[in-house]
Amino acid sequence: MTKYVIKGGKPLYGKIDISGAKNAAVAIIPATILVGGVCRIENIPQISDVTMLLNILKQLGADIRTVNKNTMDIDCSAIRSSEATFDMMRKIRASYYLIGALLGRFGSATVAMPGGCNFGGVRPIDQHIKGFTAMGAEVEVKNGHVCTTAPGGKLRGASIYLDVVSVGATINLMLAAALADGITVIENAAREPHIVDLANFLNSMGADVRGAGTGVIKIYGVDRLSGGFYSIIPDQIEAGTYMAAVADAGGEVLINNVIPRHLKCITVKLEEMGVYVEDRGDAVLVRRDSPIRRANVKTLPYPGFPTDMQPQISAVLCIADGTSVITEGVWDNRYKYVDELAKMGARIQVDGRVAVIEGVESLTGAPVKACDLRAGAAMAVAALGAHGVTEISEVGYIERGYESFVEKLRGIGADISCVTEPDAEDEEKSVG
C-alpha cells in the first residue's frame, strides 16, 4: 500500500511547472483513432489514466512510440476492430470516448461501460446516446457494454440539443461527427478549455469544427483526417490545485506553463479569499501572507468555478476567518471527502448539494484517505497547511490525474514523502 506522508505547516516557495491537461489528453488520445496517419502529440501528462488509455489503444492494434517523456507518436491506421471490451476499460471514465471515435471511424462500436470517480451513483451517458441516435446510430446497452451501429456504415450529421451541459457528451459527439456525412450541430454544448483543445486537435488533422468554446458547436463532416503535430494545453485543474496549496500553506510560488485566462474563475475566488495572484503571461505568481477570508463558492460548467476544484477550495476554506457556503452545481454527491477533512478538525455540514464550512484556526494532521482524484488532492492541500503529520492512503486516485505530484510539491519546499508498505495480504503471504 502506498501512502503520502505530509508534515504540514511549512510555507511553500519556488517554481512549479504544470503538465498537459488530463481531461484534454483523455479526449485527444481516443481522437487519434479517427486519423489515418501518425499523430505526434506533445505535452501528454504522465498519469495513470493516460497510461491506461494508451494501453487500450495498443490492445486495439495502434502503433504507439515514445518520442520523449511527454511526447508520443500515435498511429491508429492498423486498428481493424471496433470492439473495445477489455476489463481495463471499466477503470477509467474516458474510455467512453472510444464509442464516438470507433463509431465515427468504423460505423459501429462495442465498448465496455466506463468507470471513473463515483460521485454518488451511476454516471449517466443518456446524452451521449441521444446524440448518437440522432446521428442515425442504433444503440443498445447490454451485458455491461454499449453496442452501436450506424446502418450503412456511416453516421449522418444531425442537430442535437443537450439537456444538460455535459463535457463527455459534447466531446463524444464531436468525435462521432468529425467523419460523418453532413453537418452536426451541438447546442447547449460544454465550453471547457479541453473542448476547445479537442476541436483544435481535430482541425489541425483536417477536420472542420467551428464554435468550440461557445454553446453551439458545428462540425462539418470531412472524408478523412491525416496525421500531424499537436501540443496539449496546460492543465487548468492541476494549476488550480497548486494555487490552492499555496493559499492553504502560505508562501509564494510561480506556477509556470499555464493559460491564465483558463484560471480566471479560480483566481477571482482566491483573490476574494485574500490571496495575491499575478498574471505573468504564461505563468501566475501566487502569494498568501495574510489570513484566509471566508467566501461562498458555487460550481458550474465553464466559465463558472470548476467542480474539479471544489474539494481543494473547500480544504482551504476550512481555515478561513468565518463561515463559507459551497454549492455543488454539477454533481449530486461530491462531498465524500468531508468526513476525511473532519478527521483533521474541519467543521463542515453537508445538506444535499450544499456544504457549510465553519472556519477553524488550523487543521491537525491525521490518517486520511483519498476518496477520489480531486478529494485526494484536497487532502494534500489541507495537510500542507495543517499542524502535524497527515498520512494519505489510496493515493492511486491522485496518481490518476497528477503527474509527479510528490516531486512537484517537494520542489516548492513541501515536506512530503511517498511510503510503500506491504499490504496485509502481502504480509500474510510473506510470513513463512
Question: Which residues between 367 and 406 bind ligand EPU (CB under 6 A)?
Answer: 373-374, 401
Least distance in angstroms from the C-beta of 87 to ligand EPU: 19
**Which member of 126, 140, 426, 428 binds ligand EPU (CB under 6 A)?**
126
The residues with which 142 forms a beta bridge, in sequence order, are 145
What stretches of 285-337 show up as alpha helix (H) in DSSP? 310-317
**Which member of 67, 141, 164, 268 binds ligand EPU (CB under 6 A)?**
164
Contact string (CB under 6 A) for ligand EPU, positions 174-213, x = contact: ----------------x-----------------------
Residue from 208, 209, 217, 157 nearest 186 by CA: 217
- As to burial, measured by CB atoms within 10 angstroms (0-12 exposed, 13-18 middle, 19+ buried), residue 281 is exposed
| CB nearer to ligand EPU: pick between 300 and 360 | 300
CB 397 within 8 A of CB 370: yes
Q: Is the peptide bond before 422 cis (omega within 30 degrees of 0)?
A: no
**Which member of 25, 45, 47, 128 binds ligand EPU (CB under 6 A)?**
128
Question: With CB under 6 A as the contact rule, which of the stretches 34-42, 61-69, 123-131, 347-355 interacts with ligand EPU?
Answer: 123-131
Q: Which helix (H) or strand (E) holds 385?
A: helix 373-385
Question: With CB under 6 A as the contact rule, which of the stretches 161-169, 244-252, 285-293, 378-386 interacts with ligand EPU?
Answer: 161-169
- 132 touching ligand EPU, by CB under 6 A: no
**Which member of 90, 93, 298, 410 binds ligand EPU (CB under 6 A)?**
93
**Which member of 56, 117, 255, 406 binds ligand EPU (CB under 6 A)?**
117
Q: Which amino acid is at 73?
A: D
| CB nearer to ligand EPU: pick between 254 and 350 | 350
Write the DSSP assignment of 125-143 as a string of letters: -HHHHHHHHHTT-EEEEET
Least distance in angstroms from the C-beta of 113 to ligand EPU: 13
Query: CA 76, CA 73: separation in Å to the nearest integer?
Result: 10
- 38 touching ligand EPU, by CB under 6 A: no
**Which member of 168, 234, 240, 311 binds ligand EPU (CB under 6 A)?**
168
How far is the CA of 154 from the CAs of 179, 209, 216, 221, 360, in angstroms? 8, 18, 23, 11, 59
**Which member of 82, 127, 310, 312 binds ligand EPU (CB under 6 A)?**
127
| CB nearer to ligand EPU: pick between 52 and 150 | 52
- 149 touching ligand EPU, by CB under 6 A: no
Write the DSSP assignment of 70-121 as a string of letters: TEEEEE-TT----EE--GGGGG-GGGGHHHHHHHHHHSEEEEEPP----SSS
Question: Which residues between 325 and 344 bind ligand EPU (CB under 6 A)?
Answer: 330-331
Least distance in angstroms from the C-beta of 328 to ligand EPU: 9
Least distance in angstroms from the C-beta of 299 to ligand EPU: 9
Q: How many residues bind ligand EPU (CB under 6 A)?
A: 24
Q: Report the sign of the C-alpha dihedral through residues 372, 316, 330, 199, in that order.
A: negative
How far is the CA of 25 from the CAs of 49, 50, 68, 317, in angstroms? 9, 7, 16, 30
Question: With CB under 6 A as the contact rule, which of the stretches 119-127, 146-154, 252-260, 423-431 interacts with ligand EPU?
Answer: 119-127
CB 373 within 8 A of CB 117: yes
- 169 touching ligand EPU, by CB under 6 A: yes
Query: CA 373, CA 98: separation in Å to the nearest integer?
Result: 22
CB 24 within 8 A of CB 262: no
Supply 419's cell numbers.
Answer: 511510503
Catalytic residues, by residue number, are 117
Write out the residues near ligand EPU by the rule CB under 6 A: 23, 26, 93-94, 117, 123-128, 164, 166-169, 190, 307-308, 330-331, 373-374, 401
